[in-house]
Structure 1
Amino acid sequence: MSRIGRKPVTLVKGVSASVSGQTIEVKGPKGTRSFTAGDDVTITIEGDAIKVTPRGLSKRARQQWGMTRSMVDNLVVGVSTGFKKEMEIQGVGYRAAVAGNVLKLSLGYSHEVNFDVPKGVTIATPKPTEIVVEGIDQQLVGQVAANIREWRQPEPYKGKGIRYKDEYIFRKEGKKK
């Protein structure tokens, strides 16, 4: 049985939820999100908690139980506090700046990289070597951060590139004479 699925999702203050069929819609101070669950689970609202229960004991129903509960929890967290990915840039001359709806990256190429910020995500650069990606959709925030990191992944010899704030880069020793 699912340990994650058993736990109810508590609605924090300022967040409301409504269920219609298999679709749950969550409204909060940061916005509105919705999720449509599969036919293998049932979503109910009991007081200030959302419960997810499987409709049978099949393997698929048990798989969907925990996944659906996690998705509903991500909806509640997204509309109440939001999600954030912090990244840092290391390398001589590497820097980032936001101009309108475009993130401009200088990453050692012969040209400047212009990254269009998608709708639903905000990007800030508190320092020229820091990038902060924020939004209410965890999947979208993570995908945008991964797309930015893809332009110059950290290399193992000097550690130059774009990395997540808490990421550890395994360093290799260079050639010896």
Structure 2
Amino acid sequence: MSRIGKKPVPVPAGVTVNLAGANVSVKGPKGELKFVLTDQVIAKMEEGAVKVDPKDKTKLARSAWGMSRTMIANMIKGVTEGYSKTLEITGVGYRAAAQGKTLNLALGYSHDINYPIPDGIDIKTPKPTEIVITGIDKQRVGQVAAEIRDYRGPEPYKGKGVKYAGEYIFRKEGKKK
């Protein structure tokens, strides 16, 4: 039994959930998200909440059960509150600047990196060493943050590079004489 799957997902006021077969669409104040359920689960509305149940007792159905419930919960949270990730840049001369639909990154390479900001994602740079990524889709916000971090991940000796806010970088000791 999935402990997460058993819990119904409450639908707050101002959010509409449409269940049309395997298609789930959630509309709220920040936007609209869609998701297609697998064939192994069924979703239905019960008492102002979305309830997800497996169709049978197979291992595949039970594994898709909790994932489907979590996807619906993430969509509801996304259209009401939204998601945000913060990246920190450490290093001399390393900086970022959001200009229109591109993010300009200077990360110690011989050239600047121009990252095109995808639709549905908002990137702000309150400080030259801080990047705030916001959006309603949790997966896309995390994917954009990971792509930006991949340009220059933090290194273990001086800690230079792009890291998530609050991320611990294991530091190594340098060469000894």
TM-score by length of 1: 0.98
- Structure 1 residue 18 displacement after superposition: 1.1
SS in structure 1 at match of 2:103: strand
SS in structure 2 at match of 1:122: strand
Corresponding residue of 1:49? 49
| Amino acid in the other structure paired with 2:102 | V
Q: Which runs of 5+ in 1 are unaligned?
A: none
Corresponding residue of 1:100? 100
CA distance in 1, matches of 2:90, 2:2: 42
RMSD between superposed Cα atoms in Å: 0.7
Corresponding residue of 1:71? 71
Identity of aligned pairs, percent? 56
Corresponding residue of 1:89? 89
| Amino acid in the other structure paired with 1:139 | Q
CA distance in 1, matches of 2:59, 2:151: 40
Q: Deviations over 1:99-133 (max 9, x none)?
A: 11000011111111110001111100011000011
Corresponding residue of 2:142? 142
| Amino acid in the other structure paired with 1:123 | I
Corresponding residue of 2:176? 176
SS in structure 1 at match of 2:127: coil
CA distance in 1, matches of 2:90, 2:36: 41
| Amino acid in the other structure paired with 2:11 | L
- Structure 1 residue 56 displacement after superposition: 0.7
| Amino acid in the other structure paired with 2:65 | W
Confirm whether residue 3 of structure 1 aligns to residue 24 of structure 2.
no
| Amino acid in the other structure paired with 1:90 | T
Corresponding residue of 2:155? 155
| Amino acid in the other structure paired with 2:72 | V
Q: Which runs of 4+ in 1 moved over 6 A?
A: none
Q: Which runs of 5+ in 2 are unaligned?
A: none
- Structure 1 residue 61 displacement after superposition: 0.8
- Structure 1 residue 13 displacement after superposition: 2.1
- Structure 1 residue 63 displacement after superposition: 0.7
CA distance in 2, matches of 1:162, 1:12: 36
CA distance in 1, matches of 2:166, 2:41: 36
Confirm whether residue 120 of structure 1 aligns to residue 117 of structure 2.
no
CA distance in 1, matches of 2:156, 2:13: 45
CA distance in 2, matches of 1:46, 1:121: 33
| Amino acid in the other structure paired with 1:32 | E
Corresponding residue of 1:130? 130
- Structure 1 residue 47 displacement after superposition: 2.5
- Structure 1 residue 136 displacement after superposition: 0.8
